[in-house]
Amino acid sequence: MNQDYLKIEIEKIEKEIQINKEVLQKETNDDMKSLIEKEILDLEKQKKDFEESIYNETVFDGSDNNGESEGNTDIDPNTIMLEIRSGTGGDEAGLFARDLYRMYSRYGEKNKWKISEDFVNENEAGGIKTLIAEIKGNNIYNLLKYESGVHRVQRVPVTEAAGRIHTSTATVAVLPKIKKIDIEIKPEDLKWDFFRSGGKGGQNVNKVSTAVRLTHIPTGTIVECQEERYQGKNREKALQLLHSKLYTQMQEQSVKNITDLRSSQVGSAERSEKIRTYNFPQDRITDHRINKTWHSIDKVMNGEIDNILKDTTVEMEKNLEN
């Protein structure tokens, strides 16, 4: 169904809902009130169905443009780099970062995504300090792009004997793979560090320094890679990831060249702008950008995130249009 038509129909329904609400406020007859309330519920359901139709066409159906993002041929929407970092909260933040990765991975298994981990740094508790994974799936960038930001958890950590609720954070960055790169990165602006690949708790698993940490000095952007056995391959992947990060930052800050790019805050969980809160005691997940709440948190953390992704995408796209 044509998206322009759907959008027009949604606007009509929104007007009808508003008219019915105004009539409802003035109505004194209980029977009439019930009829009007039922009409409003029916209209809201129609609106939601239309919004989901738009979402499914734009996110899941890439047949018309070979999966490419509409209006943007620089990126490959079928490949992303997913970066998850623990934030404030010590070991509990690392455990939450691990849970977020498991949530996306479980969802990916159901959708037959191909996931390969490029860099993993764990803490002593088995949580994640930093994880970078390449994920391939149909139109995956459009599906996950609104997951980027600071995620907050409120729960009783397994290490908390007194049963007190702790608040911790982790950051998620969804970076598209760049197909056409017009970003000029000067060699003198790069700082390369090489170290041994680390296992759990920083344990060295390689005897040679094959892992790579690359810093873009002007913006402070850092990427890491340790997947490959050879340093040269990891250098190549780190440079590709840096291009994706800088490209994403330029898009977010609406600048056309790298010299105008402000210092990066990607990967910092110190920012106050939390996009989503996972409250375990109250069994609710709230996205603060769209002011919407979901329940069944255990199912969500086990990968059942279809509704969250759909609702978030629909509302975020509407906000962008407005």
pLDDT, one tens digit per residue, over 278-302 is: 999 999 999 999 999 999 999 999 9
Could you confirm whether domain 75-179+271-321 is CATH 2.60.120.330?
no
Quickly tell me which residue has 């009539």 as its tokens. Answer: 23
- Quote the pLDDT of residue 261: 59
- Quote the pLDDT of residue 147: 95
Secondary structure (DSSP) of 246-298: HHHHHHHHT-SSGGGPPPP-TT---SS-EEEEEETTTTEEEETTTTEEE--HH
> Which residues touch 110 (CB under 8 Å, ≥6 apart)?
303
Please tell me which residue, 15 or 46, carries the higher pLDDT value. 15
Q: Is the pLDDT of residue 64 over 50?
A: no
CA 149 distance to own-chain centroid: 7
pLDDT digits (tens, 9 = 90+) for 76-103: 889 998 999 999 988 999 999 999 999 9
CA 110 distance to own-chain centroid: 18
Please state the φ and ψ torsions of residue 24, each to the nearest 5 degrees.
-60, -40
pLDDT-derived band at 154 (thresholds 50, 70, 90) equals very high
pLDDT-derived band at 66 (thresholds 50, 70, 90) equals very low
The Cα–Cα gap between 262 and 320 comes to 22
- Quote the pLDDT of residue 55: 61
The Cα–Cα gap between 73 and 67 comes to 10
Mean pLDDT of 218-225: 85
Q: Which helix (H) or strand (E) holds 107?
A: helix 91-110
> Which residues touch 189 (CB under 8 Å, ≥6 apart)?
216, 217, 218
Q: Which of 116-130, 146-160, 182-196, 245-259 has the lowest mean pLDDT?
A: 245-259
Q: Which helix (H) or strand (E) holds 195?
A: strand 190-195
- Quote the pLDDT of residue 200: 43
pLDDT digits (tens, 9 = 90+) for 20-33: 898 888 888 888 88
Average pLDDT of the chain? 80
Q: Is the pLDDT of residue 201 over 50?
A: no
CATH classification code of 187-260: 3.30.160.20
Do 255 and 150 contact (CB within 8 A), yes or no?
no
Helix axes 3-26, 30-55, angle to 10 degrees: 160
Q: Is the pLDDT of residue 72 over 70?
A: no
The Cα–Cα gap between 90 and 162 comes to 17
Instruction: Give the burial class of 232: count Cβ atoms within 10 A of its Cβ; 0-12 exposed, 13-18 middle, 19 or more buried.
Output: exposed
Q: Which of 167-176, 197-206, 210-219 has the lowest mean pLDDT?
A: 197-206
- Quote the pLDDT of residue 56: 59
Amino acid at site 216? H
